[in-house]
Amino acid sequence: MQRFHVTTFGCQMNVHDSERIKGMLEAAGMGEAPAEDEANVLVFNTCTIRERADDRLVQHLNAARIRKEREPDLRVVVAGCWAESVREAIFRDFPWVDAAVGPGRIGALQTVITAPAGAERGAFGSFDDFAADLPKRRERHHQAWLQLSMGCNSVCSYCIVPSVRGRERSRHPRDVLAEARLLAAEGVTEVTMLGQNVNSYGRDLPPAERCTFAEMLRAVDAIDGINRIRFMSPHPKDMRGDVIEAMAECDAVCNQLHLPLQSGSSRILKQMRRTYDADRYLELVARVRAAIPDVALTTDIIVGFPGETEADFEETMRVYDAVGFDHAYTFIYSSRAGTEAASFDGHIADDVKHERLSRLVELVQQHAALRNAALIGTVQEVLSDGPSRREPTVFRGKTRGNKTALFSPPAPAGTIVSVQIEQSTSQTLRGTQAIPVTA
């Protein structure tokens, strides 16, 4: 029997696509190998958002080449955004790659893997399949991704995504809701809605079928069994009152929001083509907090965008401090060929970028520690993920605010428990499960 192994790089969208890739390979009669070196079909689901992502992939491909010299039957398959960005050139530059598919063509994977010698080994472009409609293999019984859309219509000047994932296409609300109901029936309690820009969901649908993102939140909230709804990522420019109201009013929608800021300098935001400025972002945060006072806010920030001065960077630090985020993903700007910003003047020296990043990371940690410490003494609802890997007697799970909580005594994966928070670090909360008193 052929045994596959999928290595995933990049974002949640890729994690979700990998579940579909695994589901398809299983449907084709293959089994998953427990480790990469026990597999004879290696799949790399790739990301191309930063140059380093590309470098890491090349290392994996080189390792696969060495293995293939000893095991000529080994199949090397490349899927995802990097494959889309290089397309057929992959077979020229990495001749030991047997098949490749872009993120819009996952459905073609089986055909290209089993293609006879001389047949087409690559499937790119066209974005004609929703990975969501393919068979899937869920990693966790009680949690699932729910894909709302694919592609992106924004024109952020640094970003390669629109060119590899195409224009935004919303999945039909009927299909999204049918999947959500099916997931609930299978025992899923938490869904994370996915889209490059979830809150522009539905705008491309024909008027008779149109459903806004806020309406979708309410419709999934109404499904019995779904107790937690998360989503990522919204674009601040499309975060309107109806979404904030739906978040506040729907019991299942978690008190958590990942709202990418990218920069705190209005001048840089303009160069990034984000279409909001620092003041508008801060106003938005104030509106979200007024509606959902205990909301946990996280963000994405890029340091060292072309032309970023020390004063611009200080604006980012100021806005970060003013919001007091719960956490942030911090990125060093990476120039991507084909993006608008790649041709901008004023690229920042590496040492300056690194120095700014380390100052920002310090601020991120400080606020994370403060925000977590503020939860000491509270009772948090935690969805158990089972035993902690490092301390098997301690269990771990996520709060509704999406923070990792360690707790004892144990509760099986998938159960929702109340945890009295006693300690915290910048990364985790720790506490004791409050045993419900039964009459």
Distance CA 148, CA 198 (A): 7
Angle, CA of 367, 195 and 207, to the nearest 5°: 130
Binding of ligand SF4 at residue 165 (CB under 6 A)?
yes
For the record, the structure tokens of 173 come out as: 């609300």
Tokens representing 57?
């992939």
220 counts as binding ligand SF4 under rule CB under 6 A: no
Is 148 a binding residue for ligand SF4 by CB under 6 A? The answer is no
Helix (H, G, I), strand (E, B) or coil at 320: helix
Say how far apart CA 359 and CA 351 lie, in whole Å.
13
14's contact among ligand 5AD, ligand SF4, none, with CB below 5 to 8 A by partner kind, is ligand SF4
Nearest approach, Cβ of 301 to ligand 5AD (angstroms)? 7
Q: 370-374, long-range: CB within 8 Å, 24+ apart, which pairs?
A: 370/324, 371/296, 371/324, 371/325, 371/326, 371/327, 372/326, 372/403, 372/424, 372/425, 372/426, 372/427, 372/428, 372/429, 373/424
Q: Does 356 bind ligand SF4 (CB under 6 A)?
A: no
Determine the 3-state secondary structure of 197 from DSSP: coil
9 lines the binding site for ligand 5AD (CB under 6 A): no
> Given candidates 277, 300, 340, 381, which one binds ligand 5AD under the rule CB under 6 A?
300
Q: Does 50 bind ligand 5AD (CB under 6 A)?
A: yes
Q: Residue 10 has which token pair?
A: 């990049």
Shortest distance (Å) from residue 299 CB to ligand 5AD: 9
Least distance from ligand 5AD to the Cβ atom of residue 334, Å: 4
The residue count for binding ligand 5AD (CB under 6 A) is: 13
Q: 233 to each of 3, 49, 60, 199, how far by Cα in Å?
A: 34, 15, 29, 8
Using the minimum distance from each CB to ligand 5AD, give the nearer residue, 298 or 399. 298
- Take residue 232 and report the two structure tokens written for it: 């990522």
Binding mask 41-70 for ligand SF4 (x = CB under 6 A): ------xxx---------------------
Member of 64, 76, 77, 81 binding ligand SF4 (CB under 6 A): 81
Distance CA 134, CA 138 (A): 12
The residue type found at 188 is V
Q: Which residue of 161, 194, 243, 297 would you call a contact of ligand SF4, by CB under 6 A?
A: 161
- Closest to ligand SF4 by CB, 80 or 264: 80
Q: How far is the CB of 35 from ligand SF4 (least distance, A)?
A: 23
| Contact partner, 75, from ligand SF4, ligand 5AD, none, Cβ < 5-8 Å per class | none
Residue number with CB closer to ligand 5AD (68 or 237) = 237
SS3 call for 213: helix
Q: Applying CB under 6 A, which of residues 2, 3, 7, 11 lies at the interface with ligand SF4?
A: 11
Q: Which residues bind ligand SF4 (CB under 6 A)?
A: 10-11, 13-14, 47-49, 80-81, 161, 165
